[in-house]
Amino acid sequence: MYLLVIGAGKVGTNLSRELIEQGHEVTLIETSQKRYQAIEPLFEHRIQLGDASELWVLERAGIQRADMVIAVTGDDEDNILICQVAKEKYGVPQIIARVNNPRNKQHFDLLGIAPVVSSTSLILSFIEHGVPQKGLIRLLDLGSEGIEIIEVLVAEDSPVKDRSVQEVELPERTLLISILREGKGFVPESDSVIRGGDRILAVLDPDQEEGLKAAFGTR
Amino acid sequence: MFVLIVGCGRTGSRVARHLIQQEGNEVSVMDRDPEAYARLEVGLERPWSELGGKFTVGAALETEALELAGIEKADAFVASTNGDNTNIVISQIARERYGIDKVVARIMDPARAEFYGGRGLEIICPTSIAAGMLGEALGYPATGTVS
């Protein structure tokens, strides 16, 4: 595969190195001359100096034949623009964008930039996983594929408490895939009984979240 | 007309002053730098706020700041920050999230201006305009788009 990686910060350089080791063809684009000079000995012809929001810089790097563009600069506007241009002007089949400020995620969603990766949100979700406070936690979000994996806590007053899996009225396109209880997880059978304090993993269409919350009595 | 202008540099402040002096306009300006306010009052006979002008400090992508500046009731939106990409992104937010019909963005880079102009954004590209006029001043009027 031919991949363009935009932004040669820590994320961009480590990612590019791994991709090259996996045998992919990679071009890294960096806008800061200082940063470029510092890592050019490592990447040699695989790194180019330039502002990747300028179309000619992308074209010089061969965006027309790229299989994937990965925008991991420290600037959310730049990541949005680069992905939008890659997808819509050059028809790049796959894009991945980094969200620096999780509050900007809504703008990526609005403009159809997906999938996105936000290390802040990821760390937050792990913290929530360790210390469950909210009823519903998104563990994996494949928005563009229309699927996500969530974790939901069964409260003591939940309507599904002490009922078997087959008795739970799930919304459409939703599947319970695991029950986490006392530090262990198992794949439930249809007659497995859900207890209060269980954490349930479900795979579902993101549109069905509200329905799942209703079924579990999650606020 | 209620106009929201994001980016209070030389261009944004000039547009803002021009608009507020027209009858019936309400003008709100937003900039991340509080000092940018001073630009609004250059050459005005009365203070900006006395003329009914609004000024909000905030970064362009902050939804809360945009809403504080009145984006929800804006009839027109001008993106004139010093970042092309910022202007492109907030114009699309103004149009697609807040449904503002009249959205104009200042884009310095002619290539980006052309691409986004073709996608339905109203773009002003000072670079192309200046290049054309400079050529014309030398006696060679532009025959097509200079990019």
Tell me the per-residue pLDDT of B53-109, one tens digit each, with 9 for 90 and over.
999 999 999 999 999 999 999 999 999 999 999 999 999 999 999 999 999 999 999
> Residue A150 carries which DSSP code?
E
pLDDT over 70, % of chain B: 97
Q: CB-CB: which of B86, B96, B115 is closest to A77?
A: B86
Residues A30 and A137 in one domain: no
Report yes or no: A110 at the B interface, CB cutoff 8 Å: yes
Residues A111 and A129 in one domain: no
Task: Determine whether the interchain pair B93/A89 forms a contact, defined as Cβ–Cβ distance below 8 Å.
Answer: no
Residues A100 and A148 in one domain: no
Q: CB-CB: which of B85, B93, B119 is closest to A78?
A: B85
Domains of chain B: 2-106 (3.40.50.720)
Chain B partners of A80 at a C-beta cutoff of 8 Å? 85, 89
Task: Determine whether the interchain pair A111/B61 forms a contact, defined as Cβ–Cβ distance below 8 Å.
Answer: no
Residues A104 and A154 in one domain: no
Residues A138 and A177 in one domain: yes
Report the CATH number at residue A165: 3.30.70.1450
Task: Determine whether the interchain pair B111/A55 forms a contact, defined as Cβ–Cβ distance below 8 Å.
Answer: yes
Residue for token pair 């502002």 = A51
Of A117, A141, A162, which residue is a domain's last?
A: A117
Of A117, A133, A163, which residue is a domain's last?
A: A117
Of A91, A117, A143, which residue is a domain's last?
A: A117
Tokens, residue B110: 């002619």
**Interface pTM, i.e. ipTM:** 0.89
What does the pLDDT read at residue B146? Answer: 46
DSSP labels, B64-87: HHHHHTTGGG-SEEEE--S-HHHH
The predicted model scores a pTM of 0.79
Chain B partners of A75 at a C-beta cutoff of 8 Å? 85
Mean pLDDT across A11-38: 96
Give the range of the structural domain holding residue A46, as residue numbers without chain letter: 2-117
Q: CB-CB: which of A54, A81, A103 is closest to B89?
A: A81
In a 10 Å sphere around its CB, with 0-12 CB exposed, 13-18 middle and 19+ buried, how is residue A171 labelled? middle
Q: Model confidence over A87-119: pLDDT tens digits? A: 999 999 999 999 999 999 999 999 999 999 998
What whole-number distance in Å separates Cα of residue A121 and Cα of residue A202? 20
Residues A67 and A133 in one domain: no
Q: CB-CB: which of A54, A55, A77 is closest to B89?
A: A77
Mean pLDDT across A43-50: 97
Q: Model confidence over A164-190: pLDDT tens digits? A: 998 988 898 899 999 999 888 899 998
Residues A149 and A96 in one domain: no
Reduced to 3 states (helix: H, G, I; strand: E, B; else coil), residue A183 is: coil
Task: Show which of residues 28-57 on chain A sit within 8 Å of chain B, judged by CB atoms.
Answer: 53-56
Residues A8 and A112 in one domain: yes
Reduced to 3 states (helix: H, G, I; strand: E, B; else coil), residue A116 is: strand
